[in-house]
Amino acid sequence: MIKKLEEIIATVKGYPKKRLVVACGEDPHTIEAVSRAQTEGLVEVTMVGNRKKIEEEAAGHGVSAAFSKFLDIADTKEALKQAVRLVRNGEGDILMKGLVPTPDYMRAILDKENGLVPPGGLLSHVTVMEVPAYEKLLILSDVAVLVLPDLEQKIKIIGYTIEVANALSIENPFVYLISSVETVSQKVPSTIDAALLKVMAERGQIKGARVEGPVGLDIAISRESAAIKGFKGEGAGQADILIFPGIEAGNVFYKSCTIFAGARLASLVVGATAPCILTSRGDSEESKFYSIGLASLLSTRRRQQK
Q: Are residues 134 and 255 in the same domain?
A: yes
Q: Are residues 57 and 164 in the same domain?
A: no
Q: Are 128 and 295 in contact (CB under 8 A)?
A: no
Q: Are residues 162 and 103 in the same domain?
A: no
The conformation of residue 188, written as its DSSP 8-state character, comes to B
The conformation of residue 241, written as its DSSP 8-state character, comes to E
The confidence score (pLDDT) of residue 282 equals 63
The confidence score (pLDDT) of residue 281 equals 63
Q: What is the CATH number of the domain that holds 209?
A: 3.40.718.10
The confidence score (pLDDT) of residue 111 equals 94
Q: Are residues 134 and 254 in the same domain?
A: yes
Q: Are residues 227 and 285 in the same domain?
A: no
Q: Are residues 69 and 16 in the same domain?
A: yes
27 exposed, middle or buried (CB, 10 Å; 0-12, 13-18, 19+)? buried
- The CA distances from residue 298 to 48, 222, 229, 244, in Å, are 23, 28, 37, 22
The confidence score (pLDDT) of residue 17 equals 96
Mean pLDDT by 10 residues, the chain (306 residues): 97 96 93 95 96 94 90 95 97 95 94 92 96 97 96 97 98 97 95 97 97 97 96 94 97 95 96 92 85 97 85
pTM confidence score: 0.95
The confidence score (pLDDT) of residue 182 equals 94
Among 143, 174, 296, residue whose Cα is nearest residue 239: 174
Grouping H, G, I as helix, E, B as strand and the rest as coil, residue 93 is coil
Q: Which domain holds residue 298?
A: 1-117+272-306
Q: Are residues 185 and 262 in the same domain?
A: yes
Q: Bridge partners of 46?
A: 21, 69
Q: Going along the chain, which residue ranges are E strands?
A: 18-23, 43-49, 69-72, 94-97, 124-130, 138-141, 174-178, 210-215, 241-243, 264-270, 276-277
Q: Are residues 199 and 226 in the same domain?
A: yes
